[in-house]
Amino acid sequence: MAMARIGETPTAMIDRVASILESFVGQRPLTLAEVARGSGLPRSSAHRILQRLVELGWVERNEFKYALGHRMFELGTQFTRQRSVHRAALPVMTELHRRTGLTAHLSMLAGAEILHLERVGVWPGDAGEWCAGARQPVTRTAAGRALLAAIPRAEWPEIVFGTLPTCYTVRSTVQLDRELARTRDRGGVAVDPQGCALGVTVVAAPIATGDGGHFALSLCGPTKSVRTEAVIADVRRAAAAVWRQASGIPPLRVRATETRPTEPFGRASRTVGAIWSPDAEPLVG
């Protein structure tokens, strides 16, 4: 086992480990040479560190290829499992998806992007940017603009407009300010029709929590069939319900829960039923 060079600091060593682990992001399994190139480390250092990471389960080796290991996944899930907003959102998102068919996201502000923490539903497919663990630019997304509208401007991240995937993407401060004004007019709910991808409409509301971080709940569906006004009302109620649950406030019991014949157990329905009125407008035409 090699000795550390004299003068090597703990920070330098942590950074080497980090650069190796980060080199796997967005990649298929990598060879040693690719890891060394990606992390900017000499091949011998990369190999020594990889060996230990494999022993820890943080990296796994399959013949001559390396990839992130299952222990990394377990550590990562601790981030969401320890958050009351995630525990509160999951049943609400699941019920919302089951009832509407739309895809629900829980996202948080991470620099000038939003990071998706949870997704229930598979539409619009497994394209990278919609997955749990993926990021989207804050200005482009309904979730991002719902958060910007809710946060004092002094606390905003630096705003960058970056690439513009469609002709509907918000591309200037003037457009952004107009969208934020509309969001505030809707009581904080942001709507993004096709700003991320053609044919995709997203509706988002912020969730006020003391959970460390800024969180938003959103629903996305096909632009041509989403009934925006109904989705706005649903997202608003859902975000409020998650906030109440995460804050330990008993749920509002506006109407009795509708019995669903295919729902074999009561817990989720009881919690969520109070939020959704059974005669709510259908979300899609």
Is 125 a binder of a copy of itself (CB under 8 A)?
A: yes
Is 97 a binder of a copy of itself (CB under 8 A)?
A: yes
Angle at 208 between CA 106 and CA 203, to 5 degrees: 45
To a copy of itself, the closest distance from the beta carbon of 171 in angstroms equals 27
To a copy of itself, the closest distance from the beta carbon of 128 in angstroms equals 8
State which of residues 7, 152, 248, 250 lies at the interface with a copy of itself (CB under 8 A). 7
105, 90 contact by CB (below 8 A) = no
Contact pattern for a copy of itself over residues 215 through 254, marking x by CB under 8 A: ------xx--xx----------------------------
To a copy of itself, the closest distance from the beta carbon of 164 in angstroms equals 24
Is 42 a binder of a copy of itself (CB under 8 A)?
A: no
Is 45 a binder of a copy of itself (CB under 8 A)?
A: yes
State which of residues 15, 34, 129, 258 lies at the interface with a copy of itself (CB under 8 A). 15
Hey, what are 132's tokens? Answer: 């749990």
Residue linked to tokens 């663990």: 133
Contact pattern for a copy of itself over residues 53 through 92, marking x by CB under 8 A: x--x-x-x-x----xxxx-xxxxxxxxxxx----x--xx-
For a copy of itself, the closer of residues 163 and 262 by Cβ is 262
87 contact partners, CB below 8 Å, separation of at least 6: 81, 245, 246
Is 3 a binder of a copy of itself (CB under 8 A)?
A: yes
Is 11 a binder of a copy of itself (CB under 8 A)?
A: yes
Binding positions for a copy of itself, 135-194, rule CB under 8 A: 135
Hey, what are 91's tokens? Answer: 């049943």
State which of residues 165, 268, 277, 280 lies at the interface with a copy of itself (CB under 8 A). 268
Hey, what are 5's tokens? Answer: 């060079």
